[in-house]
Amino acid sequence: MGLQLKVPQYRIKDIEFGTVDCIDPKVLPRYVSLLGLGRWVQRWVAANGDLAARLGLVGTATVDGPRHLEQRPGADTWRISGG
């Protein structure tokens, strides 16, 4: 997986082992996308705002309407946007 994402394998292991203090916020969104976990992560971010913020995932969802997990161009964080 490190080859597919073009990152060192230890960055993948940091994510997979849950080494929160070592997870690279630039790698995590790409990892999530590669595995097709965007919807699950979206729900997780909504339920775990404090930890999500530590990981560079920022929850700014509205209560109504569809939600989308997206990374802003040039940003190191993700956000949940209401539809």
Query: How much is the pLDDT for 61?
Result: 39
Among the listed residues 48, 70, 45, 55, the one whose alpha carbon sits nearest the alpha carbon of residue 25: 55
Gap between the Cα atoms of 83 and 76, Å rounded: 22
pLDDT at 65: 39
Among residues 15, 26, 22, the alpha carbon closest in space to that of 56 is found at: 26
Q: What is the distance between the alpha carbons of residues 9 and 15, in angstroms, rounded to a whole number?
A: 10
CA 9 and chain centroid, separation: 18
Residue 51: what pLDDT? 87
The pTM of the full predicted model, rounded to 2 decimals, is 0.65
Query: pLDDT tens digits, the chain, 83 residues: what are they?
Result: 888 999 999 999 999 998 888 999 889 888 988 999 888 888 998 898 888 888 877 644 333 334 455 555 555 555 544 43
